Structure 1
Amino acid sequence: MNKSAEAFRTIGEVADELQIPKHVLRFWEGRFPQIRPMKRGGGRRYYRPEDMELLRGIRALLHAEGYTIRGVQKILREHGVDQVKAAAHRVAAAQAATPAEPAARKRGRKPVAKAAAAEQQTNARDESPVPAKVQILTAIRELEIARAILLGQPLNAVENGDLKKPRAGRS
């Protein structure tokens, strides 16, 4: 039995539709105060259509775009609920455009190099995508620069290959 788009949904129905466990929805309620399902007697949750949109956006940012919980909280704080809801539409459109690719589950922050590479591919659809070897070499270079900064070494040490190894006793 399919419900209309305006119908309220139970936590089980929401979990099935979003393909996430019920306990994750309860966890998100604690982390995102913007999620406010109606609660009836006995604590049974009923999610409104606007709650569903927000949950789809949160899921899209966390699972498809690789944001952390804190990253999504920051987006909600700085840009509002509508920006998070829009993320669900962006991801749905991207998945509709490339149905052959399986959705990869990523954790942590969205890497800057990857975001730039994706933007470059979007802007230049006629050009071939950046080879994986170039992406790997770029990532290694960025890590070497970050390491030099953390060790307090000049950036020209990266170019010369003169990076000093950290001492064993430090962490």
Structure 2
Amino acid sequence: MDKSPDAFRTISEVAEDLDLPQHVLRFWETRFNQIKPMKRGGGRRYYRPQDVELIKGIRHMLYDQGYTIKGVQKLLRENGNHFLVAIGNGDMAAVEAISQRRQADQVPLTPAAQPRSMDDELVGQPRVKPSRRFFGLGKSDEDGPVQPDASKLSRDNRALLQEALFDLLECKRLLDQVR
């Protein structure tokens, strides 16, 4: 007997419908706080229809379009759940409507306030002369002796390394999926 479209689905039903392992759904619950299945006695998960639609959109962006988890999280932050639900359902008219509404909500810059070139848009630290150093570690030809605390990474550099590691792990996951 088939369930009605408004019925709640178990994790095994959702996994089978979307051709995903159950552990992937559990992992996505930790990465996308928009997915909130109801949990009943014994820890059994029941996904609402809107959760299933959102998971379809997330699956499409990750597996079919090649987005990273961070990329999909950014899409959710910027466009909301309805955007990914529309993508998952293949409703391009809704995707266009959401995109146009979002663009209309943004205040256009006056011509005087718009940046004149790419260099004006860039924000950050000035470019440093390239050397053979990595995040300030090691010794270059111009440096004197290395200080005892010089080998410690700053909090920003640690965060950059952590982000690079996550990106590399996501790339590995995508490559393993293709093989």
- Confirm or deny: 8 A CA contact 1:64 1:91 kept in the other structure: no
**What stretches of structure 1 move > 4 A for 4+ residues in a row?**
none
The aligned counterpart of 2:72 is 72
| Range 33-42 or range 83-92, more displaced | 83-92
Query: In structure 1, what is the Cα distance between the partners aligned to 2:84 and 2:41?
Result: 30
Computed over aligned residues only, the root mean square deviation of the Cα atoms, in angstroms, reads 2.5
Between 1 and 2, higher relative CO (CA 8 Å, sep ≥ 6) is seen in: 1
Please tell me the residue identity of whatever aligns with 1:68.
T
Deviations 1:99-130 (A, max 9, x none): xxxxxxxxxxxxxxxxxxxxxxxxxxxxxxxx
- Confirm or deny: 8 A CA contact 2:11 2:47 kept in the other structure: yes
Question: Pairwise mapping of residues 132-151 of structure 1 onto structure 2 (< 5 A)?
Answer: none
The aligned counterpart of 2:53 is 53
TM-score by length of 2: 0.50
For residue 88 of structure 1, report the CA deviation from its aligned partner. Answer: 0.9
For residue 42 of structure 1, report the CA deviation from its aligned partner. Answer: 1.1
Question: Pairwise mapping of residues 5-154 of structure 1 onto structure 2 (< 5 A)?
Answer: 5-90=5-90
Secondary structure of residue in 2 paired with 1:46: strand
Secondary structure of residue in 1 paired with 2:90: helix
- Confirm or deny: 8 A CA contact 1:58 1:84 kept in the other structure: yes
- Confirm or deny: 8 A CA contact 1:57 1:88 kept in the other structure: yes
Deviations 1:7-44 (A, max 9, x none): 11000000000000000000000000000000011111
Secondary structure of residue in 1 paired with 2:46: strand
Please tell me the residue identity of whatever aligns with 1:26.
R
Query: In structure 1, what is the Cα distance between the partners aligned to 2:13 and 2:89?
Result: 20
Query: In structure 2, what is the Cα distance between the partners aligned to 1:31 and 1:85?
Result: 17
TM-score by length of 1: 0.53
